[in-house]
Structure 1
Amino acid sequence: MMALANFYWGWLLGSLLLGFAAGWISVVQRGTGLSNNAAMGIGGVAAVLVGLSLARIVPGRAGYWLDLFLVMIAAYLVGCAIGSWLRYWVVARQMQGS
């Protein structure tokens, strides 16, 4: 995993910044979200992919790309969460000042 971070640090940083930008510019929606079946399906697929990565079942280049995919998705989601939280904090602060 450290080899991925050392070699692809620029791509990981780009994924984090892209997630930050997406979280910042996206409109916060208080909708219903995913249905329970869809959420369980997505969670199941994510659990299987993480399990395959941790168990090192996928050999060679495919396993390497699976690990990189999971790390980049995680960096993107962390960036989305930070950008969305910061946007909410800034907007809430502006609403208090008005």
Structure 2
Amino acid sequence: MPYLVSFHMGWLIGSVLLGFCMGWISVVQRGNGTSKVTARWLAALVAGLVAASLAHVVPGRFGYWLDLGLVMLACYLVGCTIGAWLRYWVVSRSQPAAVL
């Protein structure tokens, strides 16, 4: 894992920045989200991939790519969370106080 982080630092920073930008934009966009069924399938897929990575089921180069992809996905999701939170914080502070 330290090798992945040190060798691919630029890619990981890029995925955090991309996630930050998407999180910032996602607060503004009010489109339809994914359905609960699709969200459950995606969560099950990610959980299966994490389990396969931890159990070292996929050997060699493809296992390396799996580990790298999961680390990049985690960085992307952290960036999305930070971007959405900061956008919400900035927008909520710029609104005038409610007059009663």
TM-score by length of 2: 0.88
Gaps of 5+ in 1: none
Please tell me the residue identity of whatever aligns with 2:12: L
Bigger mean CA offset, 20-29 vs 68-77? 20-29
Residue 23 of structure 1: how far off its partner (Å): 1.1
Residue matched to 1:35? 35
Gaps of 5+ in 2: none
* Correspondences of 1:50-69 after superposition (within 5 Å): 50-69=50-69
**Residues 35-80 of structure 1: CA deviation (Å, up to 9, x unaligned):** 3321221111011100000001100000000000000011011101
- CA–CA distance in 2 between the matches of 1:53 and 1:21? 28
What RMSD over aligned residues (CA atoms) do the two structures have, in Å? 1.8
Please tell me the residue identity of whatever aligns with 2:82: I
- CA–CA distance in 1 between the matches of 2:62 and 2:84? 32
TM-score by length of 1: 0.89
